[in-house]
Structure 1
Amino acid sequence: MSTPAPLSTPSPASPAPLVWWRRWWRKQSPSRQDRFITLGPLLAVILFLAAVIAAFGYLRIEEIDREQQAVKRDVEYAQQRLRLRLLERQEQLMRIGRDISNKDVDIEEFMSQAESLVNQYPELLAVTWVDSKRRVKVAYVSASANAAQLRGAGEQLKAGETDGTYGLARDLRQPVYSRPLNPTDSSDYNAPTLQILIPLDDQGRFGGVIMGEYAIDGLLRFGVPTEVTAKYAVTLVDDKNRVLAGNVPPPRNPAARLLPWTDDAAEYEIPVSPVGNGLLIRAQGYRASLGVVGSGFFWLVTALSAITVWMLLGTWRHTRRRVQAQQALISETNFRRAMENSMLTGMRALDLQGRITYVNPAFCQMTGLAESELVGRTPPFPHWPEAEIDTLMARLDDELHGRTPPAGFEVKVKRKNGELFDARMYVSPLIDPRGQQTGWMTSMTDITEPRRIREELTASYERFTTVLEGLDAAISVAPLGSEELLFANKLYRAWFGGEVSGHMNLIAQAGVPAAAPTDDALDAVDGLAGFPTDTLTTAQTENAEIFVPNLGKWLEVRSRYLTWVDGRLAQMVIATDITPRRHAEEQAAQQNERAQTASRLITMGEMASSVAHELNQPLTAINNYCNGMVSRIKSQQISNEDLLVALEKTAKQAHRAGQIIQRIRSFVKRSEPNRTAADVATLVSNAMELADIELRRHNVRLSHYIAARLPQVMVDPILIEQVLINLMKNGAESIEQAHMPTARRSVELRVVPKTIEDQSVVEFSVLDSGKGLSPEVMGRLYEAFYSTKAEGMGIGLKLCRSIVESHQGRMEAENLYNGDEVVGCRFTFWIPVTPLLSSASSATDNVAIT
């Protein structure tokens, strides 16, 4: 007899999941266990409701799929029937076309066959015979057609009537269907139509087409089976989704599209062959069932599930309120512990006898001692330095008796490794729930780093103050809109005292804009509050040179806006004594004026022989006129009229000689620079009159072009004339050195207005036909005492550029080329119409740059 087997033999791995589940469950907090217990039934109800909805949805999707298959099958059947009907009409029209090509059908026979087709098939509106030139030979139109289909013999087809299919049929020589002609495409048609064009063959040539026109509505009514139109809303649409024929079903309820299975209206469309994608047949099923939303059983299950969920939520809220008190207590405890552990301030509690009863982690971290090494200890404590024990004992006695200052006190504290650091302590009493004091709470903060930073800031401030006090410039800072002096260095106080009036006077004399004090300043309110200051504080420094009578000094004043340490917008002024520099500039101006006078004298010395020759002509004329008059008076052969004419000519020649002498005197006369509004044409004319003498001596032709209506310029006419004369004389000498032939010995002066860098200027150009400037000469052109002429001093062009730049202008030189050959040189300089004179340059208005 065999031993019966045990009823169940559990495998070693079977209890493992259960054991794991129990361990995980016991590790959860009571609140989490309550939450899981509540969420279990809620999840079960939600899953049940989801399963019911999924079942309904699956069944509905199956039903929709069957309906979709049915509508697809019926639409394809209707499309096949419509295709067969179109092919039959196509074949009949092609038969007529073949008879016409074979000359077996005349116009009367065509009309008879067309009438038979149109009367037999209602969807066929018209049959038209069109020749190769798009002219209608004959057409038969149904009585139901509109006026647009009526065409007379010889009438030309319009380009839009066949929608481009006429040319396609002519090229392919095959039957071609046109796109549906919709009333929205052409105003000539009242209803959508479809055309078929059958090409005709005339002994191998294109002989025209047979055009049949279908009513698309007739194709739908007579081509689609009635059993299909009874079940579906059948429409014929074009490729732009426009309905051409049929009834459009009413729009569906948007709410029915929330779920995919609630969209229960089956729909299918397919192109109509052989027309192509231009004509589609579409069928949409009528909604016959109520769907999932209309099912009463579905709503019953939903309502029961909602009630169950509501009850479970109510139970969960009740359980949650019960757990909230426990959670609040745990959260408060954890919060206080976390706050205590995260504090950087050390906390130490003493009882009334001075024994340590509590220290926080920050206190242990500061001293490097563990909590066990501090709690329970009595004075002296291990974190007291040996050298400070007596002082700290006195401090502890004051602490235990409540005599510590409210602002705290500073002490030295020793770490476990023997390192000392500075700390500040604050003391407050400890009160128990009965209102009795049980000890003292001391907070300790490490102030070693703040003290180091404060000492560094103090040293930095002292260095900053020492540097500013030692500067040889007066520095002051004052806020905008307030009569308050924020900062003034030693030199400012020596010049103006500690008053803000000196700062304001410097700003006023320098012409720097500053906001005047307002009534808001009296109420300690910033009058400029709210205005953007970035543009002012990032602006460049403004400079000005002024004379202060009270000090008897010339000062260079620089100012800029800055944001003060308290956030207010302030203005800093730096005043530097430039009196020695101004004296040096005045001496340099005098020396430059002497150099200019010497240059003019040198120029006139070089022109002396030409000037003598020029004066010889009027003087010789005067002598001849006087001798002639004396001879004729002696011989009594002159009348009063002839005598008067001779005297007028003599006076004219004397006046001419006087003008030459006067121009030379005014040119070489040493005078102070005097800028006036000068007429450009007069200035150029005077310069040409003097330079023309020298140019004629070198046998150089002078031509000029002066633009009309030139504006006046603020210049010293004598200085600008000197520049023009020097440039024209240099051009003549360059031509002389190049030994140019007479035909190429010319100097041209051009004066035109221009706009350079958004500034209106007058440009002066002197062009010569000399040998140009070599690269070496171009690099040293304006170098002092450098000259290419053996007798030259090398100061002419240097002075010319200095004169132009003193008028805020620029001078440049360039060679003129004809291909690779240098054919001359051009010197150009321009003078601004309204010179931009700074305050610094206004004092030395016409001083040349040396």
Structure 2
Amino acid sequence: MSEPPQAALDLPATPPAPWRRTLRALRSLWRRWFLWVLLAVLVMGLLVTVVWLAGRHEVEQVQARLDRDTADAVADLRAGLARNVQSLQTLQAAPQDPAQWGAVAAELLRGHREWLRIEWRDARFGLLHAADTPYRPEVFDPAERVEASPDLVMACTAARRQRSAAYAPSHYVPFVQPPGTAGGLEVMDLCLPLESGGYLVAAYGLRGMLGEMLGPALMRGQEVSLAETDGTRLVSLGTARRVGNRVFTAQQLLDLPGNALVLRVDGWRTAPDLFPNVLTGLVTAMSIALVSVLVLLARDTRRREQAEAELSDALAFRKAMEDSVMTGLRARDLQGRITYVNPAFCEMVGFAPEELLGASRDVPYWPSELAHEYWQRQRQRQASGDFAREGFESVFQRKDGTRFPVLIFEAPLVNAQRVQTGWMSAFIDISEQRRIEEISRASQERLQASARLAAVGEMASLLSHELTQPLAAIASYATGSLNLLADPAAAPVPAPEREDIAMAVRRIAEQADRAGQVIRSVHDFVRRRDRTREAVAPRLLFDAVLPLVGLQARKLGVRIELDVPADLPAVQCDPTLVEQVILNLARNGMQAMDGAPPGQRVLCLAAARVGGPVSAGAAARRWLALSVTDRGSGIDEATAARLFTPFFTTRPDGMGLGLSLCRTVVEQHGGELVHEPSAPCGTVFRFTLPVAGAAPALPPTETAAAPG
């Protein structure tokens, strides 16, 4: 490479003064206009992009409309072919006489221009009779249609196997009339099996099928064609393509039984203009956008100055908040909108800061039913300026729906210029404190319940101890009276009165003995002693309490119904305790009917077989269900949830121990005491007792029929 000439190397070290001034001017001009040039380039790029997207959108709309039209055309073809099959099926009911059959077939051909020929073939595909369309000269050579083609045989065989119509692949048929005519038709045969064993064959002209079933609307400005699945075009109709137009193509598969065709629609559309008609609107919009950019630049400058002034206030505000106690903090402006929440408050209520900031009336952590009350209270405090610095309690709701109590402290929020800008609130979650208080209260209640249970035990022991001797004395006096009445040397008493007095004294003795048994049973029950159980007939259990139940029933105007079948087996139980259960349930049922009309006060005592519960590892046993049904007002859900709770009662004079002790007695026998509503009104109390002796258990799904 040759060296540069010496003159080229003798350049001055610095450019002359005019060049320097020009370079400085160009540099300043570039700095000043660089952003504007960049903005202009971006706007031009945006304009080009919008125009291109508009043209692309128009093309996509044309293609989507063509796809939709093609799908609708395929649906029309399927529906038309299905209707034609139904029309062809009417020939099955046509007379077997060829002349009459031909008349019916000709009538069908006059109503279906797409059909070229209808043939009646026997079970061996032999031609019995045929009818040609009246709308065109003879298409088929009669000699060639006598024998069925292999494709037609396969289609008819498939139709017979499927018991429905089937289509043969299309084939080309040259014209035979008039002689010497060039051209032909693409034909597709439809085979329909007859119940008598033959076949009906309908020859479709594909061109006629397109023209008759699709109509002229689809052909306007478009070319519609049928092709095979490999792309071979069979027939086409419509407008031919014009030079200079853009081609839009849509294809849909026409899947027929035995033959699959493709419907193709080629649309000739003028390509969208380079600039759509909305160009003027776009230019106007871009101009407005440019002006808006200038306005935004000016506003941005002012906002920066405002941001610097607000930054100092925000830093002082944040510093004060960060230095405060570690509790939930919330700040609100003068309009009540939330402007700040700290992480402790967000964690307390379960909401993100974005969900809380800006909320004023619809605060998400307020319970919905208390939101209006909270809002009114907040407005009153803000208007009065009286803030509870000592704190006040409220209830908040977390995002998951759980509620918790909080202790709230509020104070005015003052900025760096000593101007009040809102209010600052501090929140303390006192749910743990409330939980401890609740635990303490529950412990006190349990202690009180234990004390009451101990008192009940002492009372039962005292009753059993104190009443045993008077009851024994009553029994002794009754026995002595009976002995005196039986002594012939005693004062003479008329025979009828003697019998009545003897009956009354015997009743006194029986009830005194029964009272002693009850007291001894209660005494043993309180001490949890093992009771000896015996086999007792269910009727005897009810008969033992009927005298006492009858006394109260006559007093309250209640009618007693007893439903105890005679063939029920005996139950293994402590009869005294079970009788007390029946008596307690009967008394409760009669008291539940105090508000019922006198004619509707009916108490039903019943017993029935039932499959009872069998504990794990226990021998299979049979069970009897004893029930007491009243026609009172029923039991609501709140009372039913606490019905068997000790010391819970709905009567002012009740102790709340009756049903609890009844359930305990039944469970000690291995049974279960339940209750359920009775139709049309009232309640059924039902408990189960084991049948005396071991036997296979009934299926657990069996239930006893509730009386009434």
Q: Same fold (TM over 0.5)?
A: no
Q: Larger C-alpha radius of gyration, 1 or 2?
A: 1
**What TM-score results when the alignment is normalised by the length of structure 2?**
0.31
**What TM-score results when the alignment is normalised by the length of structure 1?**
0.27
